[in-house]
Chains A and B, each alone.
Chain A
Amino acid sequence: MSKISTLPPAMLNPPAGPPVRRRRRGLQRRATPYLYLLPTIALMIMLMVVPIIMVSGYSVMDNVITNQNPQPVGLANYVEVLTDPVFRTAVGNTIYFTGVSVVAHLVLGLVFALLLNSPLVGGRTKALFRLVYVLPWLFTVAIIAVLWRLLLNPNGVVNYLLQAAGVIDANVEWLANPDTALHAVTFINIWAGYPFFMISLLAGLQGIPKELYEAARVDGASIVQQFRHVTLPQLKPIIISMALLDFIWTTQQFALIWMTTGGGPINVTEMLSTFTYKLAFSRYEFSLASASAVIILLMSMILAYFYVRHQKARD
């Protein structure tokens, strides 16, 4: 990780005293980094390693916590979860919700970043717009959920405006209608998440050397060609990083779904997170919930593998 080379410590601190003391100091020196890492390692073992072992153990037992003497059942819980039609619906919904969110975050984030980076608008104006654009990112998911429940209420302002504009004929219950609920929660998540992309892409745009655009213009490249052949390739590493991170986080989204639709109506917005939560805390099927939780963990670790590999490749 550290790339700064230094002199060997011995040259700066010549060892004095008998060899025994030197050896003890050597041991101390070797133990030092572990001492500094001790609180981190202790916390991670207690609240990360142990819980993952526990949840894996739960997942191969018959009903734990509610059952006094749980017996091992092999992979029966996994089979039951994987063949559950609601689980499959949840996988489909999670993929739609995540896929559409990530693409829309990227497109909106890029468009807003390009607008904010335009040389045609003054610095103060840009600073003001940047503040407005970043607003959704400053809100807690719980607040975003109640806010959009207010806006999307059957008698709310969105229905009023859409009717006034002639887009819809009658009030729509966006979050309670099985045809619209999944699109509605996805839209809310798009609104909540694009600033994260926008800010990073804006920093990326500002880091592209001006000479690249000048060279492209000399070669007669149009604005569109400059965007395709200069801007996009330069932003590519940031885009891949952000997309992977966003993908990992969005598949884990719980609070937004829980507070807007709770997974309903009739499972149309059920996600892997809400499905697992309900198994554990509404139906008290802790073993099935654990199997589902381990499946989600494995999927996240696959994504994390690509993320770590991408980051290493960039270093």
Chain B
Amino acid sequence: MTQSTLVTTSTHQRGGMKKAGVLVGLVLGALFAGFPVIWMALSSFKSNREIFESPPRIITDSFSLDSYITILTDPVKVRFFVNSYVIGLAVTVLTLVVAIFAAYAFSRYEFPFKRVLNVVVISVQAVPPITLLIPYFGLMVTLGLYNTYPGLILTYMVFTLPYAIIMLTGYFNTLPRELDEAVKVDGAGPITALWRILVPLSVPGLVSVGLYTFMIAWNEFLFALTLTRTQDMRTVPIGIQLLMGQHSYEWNEMMAMSVLGCIPILVLFLFFQRYFIGGMTAGAVKI
């Protein structure tokens, strides 16, 4: 054996060791991230009695879909999901429409106070929800929006709009102005330029922003808790809390409801992973 082969085998071994190290790290990380989620899913198939049995079993004798059936046949609980979908979709559509116009102004026009407005839009994102909560309570009652869909929808837009405007302005800025000027030469107005040229070219950005917006609305807790009163207006996060507040804990039903509650986001993520990640990183990598 020559010296050179000796060297290559040892570096080869070291490479293998390194690869094994990386894989061990990846598996440990996956356990940390994934075990709680798997345990949630497994618990939703157990009977409530078996959830805390010792030693814990992965699959118990009573494996069934009962807790899912209980939830999906209870009109009160189904209503939580309907409310969350209606509000989430409305917030997404309205945020996109309003943000498209605002981003168009920021991207294509020079006007007094533009820089000030721009800084306001960025810093508004840091206003703590708890600060707004106390005046909102009175404001929503005065406006007749307490315990209504529009009340929650408008509230959520305050938190989704700034991000949407920043993202879309950045997106429009990457599209050359000559595109919309060309349409205007043909006699079309700026609105036509916006909807016929800029919007179709910005679909990936719109998808990212839309997903992020839907997620914020789907997850929101504090305002849903405070600005709604009756059961027929509650959303999924509050519904889960209501299950917890009852005298006895129906753990299997809570877990089933949690699984059902995370399915929309999970499905959206699986289908639009690239857009999700694009939307997430754009904010931090560059504004």
For A289, what are the chain B residues with a Cβ–Cβ distance below 8 Å? 134
Judged by a CB distance under 8 angstroms, whether A167 is at the interface is: no
A259 to B243, CA, bound (A): 12
A150 contacts B251, C-beta separation under 8 Å: yes
Task: Establish whether residues A242 and B284, one from each chain, have CB atoms under 8 Å apart when the complex forms.
Answer: yes
**Complex CA distance for A305 and B119, rounded to whole angstroms:** 10
Of chain A, the residue at the smallest CB distance from B100 is A36
CB closest residue in chain A, given B226: A281
CA distance A269 to B43 in the complex (A): 28
Smallest beta-carbon distance B27→chain A, Å: 9
Compute how far the CA of A116 lies from the CA of B22 in the bound complex, rounded to whole angstroms.
9
Question: Which residues of A have CB within 8 Å of B158?
Answer: 43-44, 47-48
Q: A196 contacts B181, CB within 8 Å?
A: no
Size class of B's contact patch?
35 or more
Q: Is B56 an interface residue (CB 8 A)?
A: yes
Contact A36 B101 (CB under 8 A): yes
A174 / chain B contacts, CB cutoff of 8 Å: none
Q: Tell yes or no: A118 within 8 A of B by CB.
A: yes
Q: A50 at the A/B interface (Cβ < 8 Å)?
A: yes
Contact indicator A32/B190 (Cβ below 8 Å): yes
- Tell me the minimal C-beta distance from A201 to chain B in angstroms: 9
Main secondary structure of the interface of A (DSSP, over half): helix
Q: Within 8 Å of chain A (Cβ to Cβ): is B123?
A: yes
Residue in A39, A132, A149 whose CB lies within 8 Å of B101: A39
- B285 contacts A238, CB within 8 Å? yes
Contact partner, B108, options A2, A121, A157, A301, Cβ 8 Å: A2
Closest to A273 in B: B130
User: Taking chain B's interface residues, is the majority helix, strand, or loop, or is none over half, making it mixed?
Assistant: helix
**B52 at interface (Cβ–Cβ under 8 A)?**
yes
**Are the C-beta atoms of B277 and A120 separated by less than 8 Å?**
no
Which residues of the partner chain A approach B273 to less than 8 Å between Cβ atoms? 131
Q: Are B138 and A65 within 8 A (Cβ)? A: yes
Query: Do residues B111 and A33 form an inter-chain contact, with CB atoms below 8 A?
Result: yes
Q: From A73-81, A139-147, A208-216, give the one contacting chain B.
A: A139-147
Q: Contacts of A160 on B, CB cut-off 8 Å? A: 54-56
Q: How many residues does chain A have at the interface if contact means C-beta atoms less than 8 Å apart?
A: 102
B284 touches A308 (CB 8 A): no
Interface string of A28-51 (1 = CB under 8 A from B): 001011101101110110011011
A54 within 8 A of B: yes
Contact across chains for A296 and B128 when beta carbons are under 8 A apart: yes
Chain A nearest CB from B50 CB (Å) reads: 12
B81 within 8 A of A: no
Segment of A16-24, A224-232, A247-255 in the binding face:
A247-255
Partner of B184, one of A13, A251, A255, A258: A13
- CA A156 to CA B52, docked complex, whole Å: 6
**A177 at interface by CB-CB < 8 Å:** no
- Taking a contact as CB atoms under 8 Å apart, the answer to whether B98 and A140 are in contact is no
- A170 adjacent to chain B (CB < 8 Å): no
- Least Cβ distance of A294 to chain B in Å? 7
Q: Which of B104-144 contact A (CB under 8 A)?
A: 104-109, 111, 114-115, 117-139
Asked whether any CB of chain A lies closer than 8 Å to the CB of B89, the reply is no
In the complex, the answer to whether A37 meets B102 with C-beta atoms within 8 Å is yes
Let me know if A200 and B280 touch, CB within 8 A: yes
Scoring B34, B54, B251, B285 by chain A CB atoms within 10 A of each residue's CB, the highest score goes to B285
A303 to B185, CA, bound (A): 46
Q: Are A44 and B124 in contact (CB under 8 A)?
A: yes
What residue of chain B has the Cβ atom nearest to residue A149's Cβ? B244
Q: Which of B3-11, B61-69, B201-209, B233-241 forms part of the interface with chain A?
A: B233-241
The contact of B135 among A41, A51, A148, by CB within 8 Å, is A51
Interface string of B175-210 (1 = CB under 8 A from A): 011100100110000100000000000000000000
Which residue of chain B has the shortest Cβ distance to A249 in the bound complex?
A: B126
9 tightest A-B contacts by CB? A304-B126, A142-B237, A255-B221, A51-B135, A33-B109, A54-B135, A155-B52, A33-B105, A36-B105
Given contacts A2-B173, A134-B269, A147-B258, 18 further A-B contacts (CB under 8 A): A3-B173, A6-B181, A40-B99, A40-B102, A41-B117, A47-B132, A51-B136, A65-B138, A121-B19, A129-B29, A136-B37, A138-B266, A140-B240, A156-B52, A248-B126, A259-B221, A273-B128, A301-B123
